[in-house]
Amino acid sequence: MRIELGLRESKKRETRQLISDCATKLFMEQGFEQTTIAEIAAAARVAKKTVTNYFPRKEDLALDHHEAFTEGLARTVAERGPGEDPLTALGRTFRTALLEHNPVVGFTGPSFARMVADSPTLTARLRELHDQREEALAAALTSTATDPEPAIAPRAAAALIAAADRLLFRRIQELTLAGRTDDQIEATLIPEADHLRTLLAAALGNHPTTVTP
């Protein structure tokens, strides 16, 4: 029974990835708004209902890493090492993603970046995901806050960190659309990210939620 369930889950993951891949290909060729669910279903050789069962929102066919994206900052805070302050953990995690050219931080390639930039629907959805990312971070920072802190303090810290995070994401997309290679983007972003982290540390001071005194 366990083997059967494992095979079933594996099949579901394969089907989900196939649908996502077919959708992304069509979106980049035709544009997001111009592509229909019926066309995606036909390309993946599945029923339209199968597409919507896996992806209730059309936008999530393109932005299929949305869960990892919205939870990423909060997970880093929650899973940081003993004695490591959140700001240091977030900087370390971003540096790793930058060196890996991870799509979650913005490395999507020029065709995908252009598809998103040209789509009002996807641009709006990306803003929503950034907002959700900030809200999740605020919740994670709140869980680490000390009682004497004002209740708004972790949310203020999250807003500052998330603003820097959005800026770095947009910067990667901007450089991608300008024709820079991933290696060139990495080389540009390393000092820029370090500078932003210095500004954040100065802005937050010895805030107990984010920086170890």
- pLDDT tens-digit profile of 171-202? 999 999 999 999 999 999 999 999 999 999 99
pLDDT recorded at residue 213: 40
Please, which pLDDT band fits residue 212 given cuts at 50, 70 and 90? very low
Classify each residue of 96-112 as buried b or exposed e, where b means 16 or more C-beta atoms within 10 Å of its C-beta. ebbeebbbebbbbeeeb
* pLDDT, tens digit, 9 for 90 and up, residues 53-71: 999 999 999 998 888 899 9
pTM (two decimals): 0.86
Give the whole-angstrom CA distance, residue 25 versus residue 164: 31
pLDDT for 81-100, tens place per residue?
888 889 999 999 999 999 99
Contacts of 118 by beta carbon, 8 Å cutoff, 6+ apart:
31, 32
Identify the CA nearest to 210 among candidates 138, 151, 150. 138
pLDDT tens, position by position, 10-34? 888 899 999 999 999 999 999 999 9
Residue 151 has pLDDT above 70, yes or no: no
More confident residue, 208 or 49: 49
